[in-house]
Amino acid sequence: MSSADSATLSELLIDHIGAQGDGLAPGPVFAPLTLPGERVLAAVSSERADVREILAPSAERIEPVCQHYGDCGGCSLQHWAPEPYLAWKVEQIVKALARERIETQMLAPFAAAPGARRRLALHARREGGRVRLGFKARRTWRLVDIEVCPVSHPNLVAALPALRRLAHPFFEHPKSAPTLHVTLTATGLDVDVTGIERRSGGLSADGRVRAAEAAQAGDFARVTLAGEMIYQARQPMVRVGPATVALPPGSFLQAVPAAEAAMGAFVVEAVAGANRVADLFCGVGTFTFRLAQVASVYAADSSAEAVRALASAVSTAPGLKNIVAEARDLGRRPLLAPEMKKLDAVVFDPPRAGALEQAGEIARSKVGLAVGVSCNPATFARDARILADAGFTLERVLPVDQFLWSPHVELVGVFRR
């Protein structure tokens, strides 16, 4: 997740919802917060149902753990027992691949634990003199002012009052709608604020001072405004495999460290025996540093700041094999097939849109092993079809449930010619 990192609403497709007096023929409708096989009383409008009552609950239904469940737009699968919930997520990957006529071995999924998420995108709204901070409500722009968040690290939850105070200075302009992108790092919270009206000049000097004072009072490591420094007490640092990275403002990180470690270990195991590997869409080095423990690595990403941070962190992990890092827009300028001549394996971890152009170049290359990491089964399946048509077999897939109780599922797949 990209992900857009704020929690989102999932609506499960079920076979039939009964509706009395509305003249609608029974048919498939989307009924939020239900489970397959349940009988519910609902008002049906077009293809959506407003569920009024659960008449016959599923045996798989459990009690949600969060007080904001049902109002907050996130964690929309919190009412589902863990085993069928995880099976449903794996099924989404299987179905996406089936649409491209691809079958493979599905491994047991990695499941993130509650309280493990280190990144949040918190929306702020001001009502009178009070600031509300949280997530959007289901199917509306209304904001749910959260007090707890069971998926988030306890340090993030504990910081909510200080984050509300931090948001106050960012409401100078009536059109400003701040979003606080908060990352828990080894040196404290790193906060990047977006959504500030800039046509009027952005945040004033007085507003910046007040924001810095709130950041100091909250003991935040750093606060930036769309990447521009407002306050820094300590450089935000994160551990990435064997390396320690100075995090650029607004950088992408895997949401759950344990999920990052599981995916990293799987990727390294997949390329065992390779001497030269490319890590494409590398970010700050999620896989690069782990791969460099066993092979020389060429790393590329469109973010020049991320690549600089990766290169600077190489010295923090002695004993690594050679790393060459390049800022390169792989969507517009993918690594070409001739450039892969000396590579034994390619790892690619694109954004949600997938790696259409890059997959085409891998297909045209002579590389015998590719590992794809994805947060979108649909685009992964599309790219997998390109590789399959070039003679690759998708040998196995590791499903990753990193965004707990949401509909999102990630995966790592191993392709071999």
pLDDT tens digits for range 157-206: 999 999 999 999 999 988 899 999 999 999 999 999 999 988 777 899 99
CA distance 152 to 158: 10
Share above pLDDT 90 across residues of the chain, in percent, rounded to a whole number: 84
pLDDT at residue 18 greater than cutoff 70: no
pLDDT at residue 2 greater than cutoff 50: no
Per the prediction, the chain carries an average pLDDT of: 92
Beta strands (DSSP E) in 90-221 are 105-106, 110-111, 119-127, 130-136, 143-145, 179-185, 188-194
CB neighbour burial string for 149-185, b if at least 16 within 10 angstroms, e if fewer: bbbbbeebbebbebbbbbbbbbbbbeebbbbbbbbbb
pLDDT band at 51 (very low <50, low <70, confident <90, very high): confident
Name the residue type at position 230.
I
Beta strands (DSSP E) in 250-341 are 276-280, 296-301, 323-327
Q: What average pLDDT does range 319-325 have in this prediction?
A: 98
| Residue 27: per-residue pLDDT | 61
pLDDT band at 21 (very low <50, low <70, confident <90, very high): very low
pLDDT at residue 296 greater than cutoff 80: yes
pLDDT at residue 25 greater than cutoff 70: no
| Beta-bridge partners for 110 | 400
CA distance 198 to 136: 23
| Residue 47: per-residue pLDDT | 77
pLDDT band at 14 (very low <50, low <70, confident <90, very high): very low
CA distance 388 to 367: 13
| Residue 175: per-residue pLDDT | 87
C-alpha distances in Å from residue 119, one per residue of 9, 21, 72, 95, 141? 18, 46, 17, 29, 22
3-state helix, strand, coil in the chain (%, to 5): 25, 30, 45
For residues 348 and 327, is the Cβ–Cβ distance under 8 A?
A: no
The values of phi and psi at residue 133, to 5°, are: -140, 125
**Preceding omega of 204 cis (within 30 degrees of 0):** no
CA distance 134 to 141: 12
CA distance 190 to 375: 23
**Token pair recorded at residue 74:** 């996130």
Which of these ranges, 27-36, 123-132, 190-199, has the smallest mean pLDDT?
A: 27-36
- Ordered by where they begin, the domains of the chain are 11-79 (2.40.50), 91-112+257-416 (3.40.50.150), 119-238 (2.40.50.1070)
Q: What average pLDDT does range 53-72 have in this prediction?
A: 94
pLDDT band at 321 (very low <50, low <70, confident <90, very high): very high
Q: What average pLDDT does range 320-340 have in this prediction?
A: 97
Q: What average pLDDT does range 93-119 have in this prediction?
A: 98
Catalytic positions, written as ranges: 375
pLDDT tens-digit series, residues 233-272: 999 999 999 999 999 999 999 999 999 999 999 999 999 9
pLDDT band at 43 (very low <50, low <70, confident <90, very high): confident
Which of these ranges, 26-30, 68-72, 88-92, 333-337, has the smallest mean pLDDT?
A: 26-30
Interacting residues of 196 by C-beta distance below 8 A, sequence separation 6+: 170, 173, 176, 178, 202, 203, 225, 226
| Residue 141: per-residue pLDDT | 84
**Token pair recorded at residue 410:** 């990630």
CA distance 148 to 142: 18
Helical pair 160-167 and 205-217, crossing angle rounded to 10 deg: 170
Report DSSP state, residue 155. H
Q: What average pLDDT does range 282-307 have in this prediction?
A: 98
